[in-house]
Amino acid sequence: MQRFAKIIIFAFILTLVSCAKTDEEQVRSAIDEANYYLSSMDCTSAKNVLDDVGFQSDNARYISTYASVYGCKAGFKELVFFTENISKVNSASLMTSLAQFDTSNETVNDSADVQNIHDAIFTLLGNDGTAQPDTNARNAKFGTKRSGDLSMQALYLIFVAMGKHFALYGNADLDPASATFGQKGKGVLSNSCIFSYTTQDAVDWINSIKPGSCTTATGNEGSDLLEAPETDAEIKTRLCRGIVYYNNMMDILSNITLPGSGELGDVGNVQTALALLMNTAESAEIAPPGTYNDGDPNGKDAISTLKTVTGQAQCEAETIERIEKWYAIFFETIYQ
């Protein structure tokens, strides 16, 4: 029995020197546990286990899972998006098709869902080590496979965010049975344009081009949600969200190779179609005699300046005149 006791004692000594998890193991464990909680949409538990190990800005899996927590809070499910919405994407009328998503159902400013989707997007895009999100920087930091997965995850969320954004502020028709389903200015609100334009170049563009329902610009045609009593800062923040969503979408589509899968529908054609429209808009600003670039100097070269802005803070640092012009010349034109 003495030998028996020695074996027991030896085993207990072994437990005393047993190994705790390394930091890397703790992070992996936290990610796996969070994924488990997210399987039942237990957002709070998932966030708690991820927070316990601290934010891991160099770990693509952690970033992806953390973004999922925000997506979870917004009730977003990627497979539902895949089966219900992605087939609606139409490169020829992107904004209208995005407004047709069943998630494009916002009725108030800055809802919790909108904020959570926004946070998810910038969790995915904002950890590439640069001042503004950049797909190539993500590729360099995380490798093309992991970076590609982050970009795709962000792309789906950007589609949802843009759908919410343009359906709300563009007063989209949300009736699936309607002939004008998803179109701008056909909803239950009163606005025919996204914004009430006052900057001369923007006003000139609307009055001349008359994009869709937005046929005139007298300073009253835009969404009430983008006017006083909302503060100037709030309005700028909301307008900039639309711009950075769009620019990040284009940055992603320009710098990743989409899988050769029919699952993605028309997504593969979006970049080509919109790049063409962007060139047209940019040309309109610079072409002689400069009809759309000779107004308020604060709004000069809006398209060429803003088209590379992918960071929210960088966008908000721009003048409201440039932002107005971007919306008038580009967004009102591509969203009709």
Partner 1 sequence: MIRLIILPFILLSLSALAVEERSLGKSPNGLLMGDAYTALADDDFTLFYNPALLARHKGFSLYPLNPSITATNIIKDPDRFSNTGTTTTSFADAAFNFPMHIGIDYSPGFKMGKFGMSAMVNYNTNFNLQNQVTPVLDIDHRFDRGFIAGYAHPLYGSFTTGKGGEHLALGLSVKYIEREAIYNSYNLTGISLLDALSQGSADAILNSLGKVNGSGWGADAGIDYVKSNGSQTFSLGLAILDIYTVMHTKDNPDNLEVQDQPMRINLGSAWKATMGAGFDLTVSADIKHLEQQMELMRRVHLGVEVGISPALSIMAGVNAIDNYSYGLKLNTGLIKIYAGFYGTEIGEKLGQQESDRFVIYFSLFHFGFDPLG
Judged by the rule CB under 8 A, the positions of this chain that interact with partner 1 are 3-4, 7-8, 10-12, 14-16, 18-21, 25, 29, 31-36, 38-41, 61, 64-65, 67-69, 71-72, 76-80, 82-84, 143, 145-146, 148-149, 151-153, 156, 256-261, 263
Whole-number Å distance between alpha carbons of 271 and 275: 6
Q: Is 283 helix (H, G, I), strand (E, B) or coil?
A: helix
The identity of residue 329, as a single letter, is: I
Whole-number Å distance between alpha carbons of 194 and 217: 11
Write down the residue that tokens 């997506």 correspond to.
71
Burial of 121 (0-12, 13-18, 19+ CB in 10 A): buried
The residue among 52 and 175 lying less far from partner 1, judged by its C-beta, is 52
Write down the residue that tokens 């950007």 correspond to.
158
- Taking the complex as a whole, the smallest distance from the CB of residue 130 to partner 1 amounts, in Å, to 21
- Taking the complex as a whole, the smallest distance from the CB of residue 188 to partner 1 amounts, in Å, to 30
The residue among 113 and 285 lying less far from partner 1, judged by its C-beta, is 113
The residue among 37 and 326 lying less far from partner 1, judged by its C-beta, is 37
The residue among 75 and 198 lying less far from partner 1, judged by its C-beta, is 75
The residue among 23 and 84 lying less far from partner 1, judged by its C-beta, is 84
Decide if 158 contacts 133 (C-beta within 8 A). no
Decide if 67 contacts 32 (C-beta within 8 A). no
- Taking the complex as a whole, the smallest distance from the CB of residue 88 to partner 1 amounts, in Å, to 15
Whole-number Å distance between alpha carbons of 298 and 64: 38
The residue among 156 and 335 lying less far from partner 1, judged by its C-beta, is 156
- Taking the complex as a whole, the smallest distance from the CB of residue 199 to partner 1 amounts, in Å, to 40
The residue among 54 and 219 lying less far from partner 1, judged by its C-beta, is 54
Decide if 326 contacts 201 (C-beta within 8 A). no
- Taking the complex as a whole, the smallest distance from the CB of residue 68 to partner 1 amounts, in Å, to 4
Decide if 167 contacts 182 (C-beta within 8 A). yes
Q: How far apart are the first and last CA of the chain?
A: 88
- Taking the complex as a whole, the smallest distance from the CB of residue 146 to partner 1 amounts, in Å, to 8
The residue among 32 and 175 lying less far from partner 1, judged by its C-beta, is 32
- Taking the complex as a whole, the smallest distance from the CB of residue 141 to partner 1 amounts, in Å, to 16
The residue among 41 and 112 lying less far from partner 1, judged by its C-beta, is 41
CB atoms within 10 A of CB 280: 15
Distances (CA, A) of 29 to 38, 55, 61: 14, 14, 11
Decide if 81 contacts 160 (C-beta within 8 A). yes
- Taking the complex as a whole, the smallest distance from the CB of residue 216 to partner 1 amounts, in Å, to 43
- Taking the complex as a whole, the smallest distance from the CB of residue 81 to partner 1 amounts, in Å, to 9
Record the tokens describing residue 258, joined without a space.
Answer: 């989409």
DSSP letter at 130 equals S
